Structure formats: C-alpha cells, structure tokens
Amino acid sequence: MTALADYRDRFETIRFERQDGILEMTVHTDGDSLRWGAAPVQEMQEAFGAVASDVENRVVIFTGTGAEFNGPKGSPETFPGTTARGWEFAHWNTRKLLLNFLDIEAPVICALNGPVWRHCETPLLSDIVIASETAALQDSGHFVNGLVPGDGMHIVLPYVMGPNRARYFMLTGQVIEASEAKDLGLYAEVLPPEQVLPRAWELARELCKQSPLVLRYTKVCFAHAIRQQILAGQGYGVLLEGMAAIDDQHRAGYTLDPRG
C-alpha cells in the first residue's frame, strides 16, 4: 500500500490534492495543457498504480489544465524514430496505463477541461465524465497518421461507442464535439468550462456518502468486464501497431513513435 506522501511530489506532469478522501489528479505540462509523449505516459501509468494502492482515496477526480486536456494533434513530424526495443517499452507502458487506471478501486470522475486530441480512451474509461463545452474528441495520433490504433483504442472505443461508430471515428480522424459526445453517451454532462471541476467535486462528495466497501466494490464490479477485454487483446494490438509502424518507417522514409 502507498500513502499520498509517497507520490504527491513524485511526478513532473501530475499534481495531487486530497480533501475528505477525494483525490484530485491533474495532468499538465509546465502548468499548462498536457503535451502527450513517452514521459507523460510513463508517469501516468506509474501514478495510476500509486493511486490504486492508496486505500485513503475514496473517489478520484481526473482532470487537466489550460485550454486542452491534452495535445498537440498528432503528425508524422512529431514522431521520433523507434526500434523493436522501443516498441517493447511502449508495450509495457501502454498496457500498464489502462490496467493501472482500472485497478483504482475508487470511482473515477473525469473533469474534461478541454479537447482530447490524443488517447481519449483513458478519460473515457472513467466512471463519470463531466465535460467542458469545448471538450472535443479526436484520435489524431493513429490511423490518419499511419499508425494502427492498437494500444487500447481498438478495445475501449468500441466498448464505449459501439463498434461501427468507433471504427468510423478512428478510420477518418473525425472530431466529435462535446454536444455530440454527450448524445453518444460518452459524456454524462456538458457544462461551461468554469463549472466542470466544481460539478465533479459536487458529485464526488455525493458518492462519498456511501460506505467504503460499497464504493470500492461497485467500482470493481464496473471495471471487471472491460479489464478482461484489455487483458485479452491489448498486448496483441500493440505488437500489430509496432510491426506496421516499423514497416512504414522503411517504406515511406519517416519514423514513428509508439505513443500514438
């Protein structure tokens, strides 16, 4: 088990604050919107593991900073070169990212402060998603930039969107605006930006009225089915993504990064 003091100041891209058993976990880059990359992915998967091991966390609020939840949009120019060993590193971190997130035995409320341009599967695995009116979704880092969306997107998005809608979203690089995301059932509520985090805290306080075991085991119950799917299919998807990327590296003359 861990305590908040063990991980509060451990990460460069994540801030923590806890009140009355409610942990607010804020991702950022130098105090502004998170810039996606290998280092933040490694920090997030390790942070999720630490949060999951801290029994004092009764509810978790997962949020971002600035105008975007994360970015920038993906492009081939942003992807440095990689090797088979690089993909093994990605295989480890991307598997741990989602599994450690689902290992958090506390309800997770995602307070989306803005657009999610990269890896929207992680916030969409939250138990409740409260989104800003600006919180569009796009998979800008995979298929439309020559990467197989095999590092979890291929499992989580069909699970939350339905298979046909998810395949269209990933194959076209479509932007889904917040209002449509709510209509699709991806967001529970869409609010003006300044109301998102206060609403998340309001919901968290309401959830905390339940007993610790009701909270914990409800979350375990909710996470079980999708966790089994990720265990069964994510590693295979990452390897398919890596094989296609390494082939494309030689064919097209540019190199790709397994981070999507």
CATH code where residue 64 lies: 3.90.226.10
- Whether 40 has a pLDDT exceeding 80, the answer reads yes
Cβ neighbours of residue 108 closer than 8 Å, sequence gap 6 or more: 59, 60, 61, 62, 101, 125, 126, 127, 128, 219
Decide if 38 is inside a domain: yes
Q: Which of 34, 61, 48, 193 is nearest to 118 (CA)?
A: 34
- Whether 256 has a pLDDT exceeding 50, the answer reads no
- Whether 260 has a pLDDT exceeding 60, the answer reads no
For 234, the domain range is 4-252
Residue 34: which pLDDT band, with cuts at 50, 70 and 90?
very high
State residue 250 phi and psi, 5-degree precision. -80, -35
Cβ neighbours of residue 157 closer than 8 Å, sequence gap 6 or more: 120, 121, 124, 139, 149, 166, 169, 170
Span 162-185, average pLDDT:
97
Decide if 258 is inside a domain: no
- Report the distance separating Cα 62 and Cα 48, nearest Å: 10
Could you tell me the strand order of the sheet in which 22-27 lies? 14-19, 22-27, 59-63, 108-112, 128-132, 189-191
Count CB atoms within 10 A of the CB of residue 130. 26
Decide if 259 is inside a domain: no
pTM over 0.95: no
Of the candidates 17, 121, 177, 241, the residue annotated as catalytic is: 121
Span 48-62, average pLDDT:
98
State residue 171 phi and psi, 5-degree precision. -75, -25
Decide if 48 is inside a domain: yes
Decide if 82 is inside a domain: yes
Span 203-230, average pLDDT:
97
Mean pLDDT, the chain, rounded, equals 92
- Report the distance separating Cα 61 and Cα 95, nearest Å: 22
Decide if 260 is inside a domain: no
Span 18-42, average pLDDT:
96
- Tally of structural domains, the chain: 1
Query: Can you say whether the dihedral through the CA atoms of 211, 7, 11, 75 is positive or negative?
Result: negative
Q: What is the pLDDT of residue 192?
A: 98
Decide if 228 is inside a domain: yes
Decide if 126 is inside a domain: yes
- Report the distance separating Cα 122 and Cα 100, nearest Å: 11
Catalytic residue check, 121 = yes
